[in-house]
Amino acid sequence: MNLFVPQQFRQKFPLITRYAKYSTDKSQSKSSIVYFDNAATTQKPEQVIACQQRYYGEYNANVHRASHQLSTNATFAFEKARTLVQKFIGANSIKEIIWTKGTTESINLVVQSLARNTLTSADEIVLCASEHHANIVPWQIVAEQTGAVIKILPLNEQGFIDVSNLDEFISKKTKFVACAHISNVLGRINPIKAVIAKAKSVGAISLIDGAQAVAHIAVDVRALDCDFYVFSAHKMYGPTGIGVLYGKQALLENMPPYQGGGEMIKTVSFTQTTTFNSLPFKFEAGTPNIAAVIGFGESITFLAPLLADIQKGYNLYEQKMVNHCYQELAKIAQVNFIVEGIPDIGVIAFTIAGHHNHDVATSLDASGIAIRSGHHCAMPLMAHLNIDGCLRVSLAAYNTIEEIDYFINCLREVLLEDFSQAGVQVELQQKNHAKTEQLINLRTKEMKDIITLFTTVKGWDSRHREIMLLGKNLPRMEQALRNEQTIITGCESLAWLKVEQTRQGVYFFSADSDAKIIRGLLVIVLAAFNHKTAEQIHNFDIKEYFNQLGLIQHLSPSRGNGLLAIVDKIKLLAKE
């Protein structure tokens, strides 16, 4: 009997089946979702959701601290999950499994508990060019605290860590080497065994970020021989807010606690030295996320047999989807993959010539397709590749070939729309010439016209189309004006704002962005504030304006914050 059957696997995920009404044409249900953002977080199977509900409904109690039956039941389930994790990654002992909030906290624990207490200004830390910010910033902080120097392992053309010249980067000065098992942008399985072996040869401690690996490949920490391995439940069909720090017992024994409080102590006294609990509890201060730990254990029960299956049905199906998606994208002339070759897991990153990443992602969202755009918490990698950001499609085994084909068809339509957009705009101008003139010329009546326009359209897809059209009407700023003085900080895409003031104290703002969706939002914001005095600008109820337009509830938090950042910049300039 096959352990993995794609359609049966898919049916185990309530959110996926609830919104799985996609079709291969534009008449698809507006409530449907094609979820291609699995590298950010995976959906949860029914058994993971149900086991957390059982905990709260049947044996909710704190763990380790009471003698009653509810606590005993909770503690048993809690510690059973720890044993499941130990076996899942091949650790020697449950003492080597530390619960954290996730990969990020696991890295910070090692950095502040161990690295901060051992590094000096004569030491070096080695990272990789493709690391997630969570495996960069903590090391930058500790480097500043201790004076240690950070060195960066380069990548080859295919996006792997280049191990051909490790001797140039990992030396006797190296005390810590930290890199990802699989990049969250490039989808490459890095040659970490070679990196770990080199670190070991010079006495350096190795930390591997396995956040993107654990849902796709079997991990054996003893075979890798790494000192630390970190990962999160939510990227492997488990709950959010829970993760693991695996560490070799000898290292953990010698590390001081990361945080103080209940559970991590053995004795506390005002007159004698406080003593700490044994492993793993020494690093688990406070009441843990019990329901999430129990859910984590269930996600391992769900996933582990699929990764261990000798028939490899789960892995082969994932690779089939990766190959299909990559090959279909490669047929689109405007698509440029950010590194060479098909990725090792379902993480495919690319740009589209002549199109801003956020514009494409937002247009696809209007068709119910969830992909990610931006720098993917890997800004140094974007700089290394000389790009501002990219699009990322990340697949899971509950996705289908049909969903990929729907995505490709919608992407082709988005790209074709630009060729026909001029005709659409002319038609719009013919239907409502006076309104369009006001939009282009940015006259005082424009705000009322925009409100009228947006109250006549229903649904986010229609509003999105109007925003994109408005963006086409915004005059572009001269290149020389797009500089550090005019840039809007806090906006997820590059955007600039310039101010002029008349003798009568009336302000006029001009703005620009690389993304058409942001240019459209700028038109809407400028309509509210142009031709007003400073007093009128500061008294204007921008939130009510946005509510009238039905904008904020449809924008992502980052884009909503970016919109407010534009408003803040306008108000700041109006004070001058």
| Residues that are catalytic | 377
Rounded Cα–Cα distance for residues 311 and 314 (Å): 8
Tell me the pairing of strands 369-370 and 532-533. unpaired
Nearest Cα residue to 259 out of 104, 98, 113: 113
Rounded Cα–Cα distance for residues 55 and 290 (Å): 9
Rounded Cα–Cα distance for residues 482 and 477 (Å): 7
Q: What is the DSSP letter of 473?
A: H
Question: At residue 3, what is the residue type?
Answer: L
Give the pair of three-digit tokens for residue 522: 């700028």
How many other CB atoms are there within 10 angstroms of residue 403's CB atom?
21
Helix (H) or strand (E) holding 316: helix 313-330
Q: Are 73 and 59 in contact (CB under 8 A)?
A: yes
- What phi and psi, each to the nearest 5 degrees, are found at residue 419? -70, -30
Rounded Cα–Cα distance for residues 179 and 378 (Å): 13
| Burial of residue 274 (number of CB atoms within 10 Å: 0-12, 13-18, 19+) | exposed
How many other CB atoms are there within 10 angstroms of residue 485's CB atom?
9
Rounded Cα–Cα distance for residues 236 and 347 (Å): 14
Rounded Cα–Cα distance for residues 350 and 51 (Å): 38
Q: What b/e sequence results for 166-183 when a residue is b if at least 16 CB atoms lie within 10 Å of its CB, and e otherwise? A: beebbeeebbbbbbbbbb
Rounded Cα–Cα distance for residues 565 and 557 (Å): 12
Give the pair of three-digit tokens for residue 419: 């060729």
Nearest Cα residue to 383 out of 134, 139, 111, 152: 152
Place of tokens 């969903």: 403
Helix spans in 376-515 (H):
379-385, 401-431, 433-441, 446-455, 460-473
Nearest Cα residue to 468 out of 372, 359, 394: 359
Q: Are 219 and 229 in contact (CB under 8 A)?
A: yes
Residues 6+ apart with CB under 8 A from 423: none
Rounded Cα–Cα distance for residues 299 and 443 (Å): 57
Q: Are 513 and 496 in contact (CB under 8 A)?
A: yes
* Distance linking the first and last C-alpha atoms of the chain: 73
Q: Are 296 and 80 in contact (CB under 8 A)?
A: no
Q: Are 121 and 275 in contact (CB under 8 A)?
A: no
